[in-house]
Structure 1
Amino acid sequence: MIGKRNIHLETLDKLYLVGIRVRCPAEEYGWQIPLAAKQLDARKKEIANVSNLHQQFGAFVVDASSEEEDGYWVCHQVKKVEGVPEGMVSLRIPSQTYAVLKHRGSNMGILNTYEELHTWIAKSDLKRRLGAWHLERFYHFKDTEQIEVDLMDTIHDEKRR
């Protein structure tokens, strides 16, 4: 725990995600991702087997090693992948352990919250998995000035090594 912020570890079983892939120059992600989130929200009923229509996931690989991993995915979690709508893609995220910190406020302030999370990880003698899928679990995403999201940085789980 840093200050009043609750950072915790969370292990998730494998996830199936369906959504929209965003690829653009790095400086454009701040406004391209909210556009994709709005598009996905407008089309969410087209996706079969959605677990929670009010929650979106962002997925990305920090240190992408291929073109297939490059970008950012705005998605809904699904129970199983079935009939992916036109213009959308599916992802399978393996079971992983994450260091999690909630961010509330502007989407432009998210980098400061990530900095806080990365500092905590380093001080906790944990190691980030830069080549793995990292997640952002969005609870509120329609107003870019008032988002609520769990930043989920993938770490090495000592029990799985």
Structure 2
Amino acid sequence: MEIVSKIPLKAIGLKIICKEEELGVEMPKLWRLFKERIEEVSNRSNLNVIDICLERKGQNYTQFICCEVDSLEEIPEGMEGIIIPEQRYVYFEHEGNEVDIWKSFGAMEKWAIDNGYYIHSSEFKMDFSLSEFNGAHKLYLKID
């Protein structure tokens, strides 16, 4: 694990807000819909797909499934565009089962705290994977 700064990025995708206990049902639906519509995003800058926890407020999570783009000029209907500013993160590359990614984020949080870093209060997290969602995942956990 290491601390990195990630340059600003623009992304287009689909967003939901739901309670923690609903994530197990709602996120697979959002992934299916995004996979069906990903080709509508015409100005992708790479083949990465990003799963972002934009924030947590109480039990409500704002999740965003998206891809990185060169500009926000052409946003398909029903999708949203966002700009993520340059920020500092704990970075880790997760290898293995996607089901265990939450364990990697937990280890990242523990590592950050053990090394004197503060996890951002919004619980902002990003998971970058390649287009078909298999293989390595590049995980980012925002710190203050």
1:121-159 CA-to-partner distances (Å, cap 9, x unmatched) read: 0111111112374311123654xxx55322210112xxx
Contact 1:130 1:154 in 2 (8 A): no
Q: Could you tell me how far 1:108 is from its partner in structure 2?
A: 2.8
Q: Could you tell me how far 1:32 is from its partner in structure 2?
A: 2.8
1:135 maps to 126
TM-score, normalised with respect to structure 1: 0.76
Match of 2:23 among 29, 49, 62: 29
1:15-62 CA-to-partner distances (Å, cap 9, x unmatched) read: 11100112333123234323322322322221132111x311122234
Structure 2 gap segments, 5+ residues each: none
2:32 aligned with 1:8, yes or no? no
Match of 2:51 among 43, 48, 58: 58
1:56-95 CA-to-partner distances (Å, cap 9, x unmatched) read: 1122234449x8xx51000001111022111111111111
- Summarize the alignment of residues 60-139 of structure 1 with structure 2, pairs less than 5 Å apart: 60-64=53-57, 70-131=61-122, 133-139=124-130
CA distance 1:43–1:140, shift in 2 (3 Å)? closer
Contact 2:44 2:70 in 1 (8 A): yes
SS across alignment from 1:105: coil
SS across alignment from 1:80: coil
Paired AA for residue 4 in structure 2: E
Query: How far apart are the structure 2 equivalents of 1:147 and 1:23?
Result: 27
Paired AA for residue 12 in structure 2: V
Contact 1:121 1:128 in 2 (8 A): yes
Contact 1:22 1:72 in 2 (8 A): yes
TM-score, normalised with respect to structure 2: 0.83
Q: Percent identity?
A: 20
1:47 maps to 41
Structure 1 gap segments, 5+ residues each: 1-6, 157-161
Contact 1:30 1:108 in 2 (8 A): no
Task: Give the strand-richer structure, 1 or 2.
Answer: 2
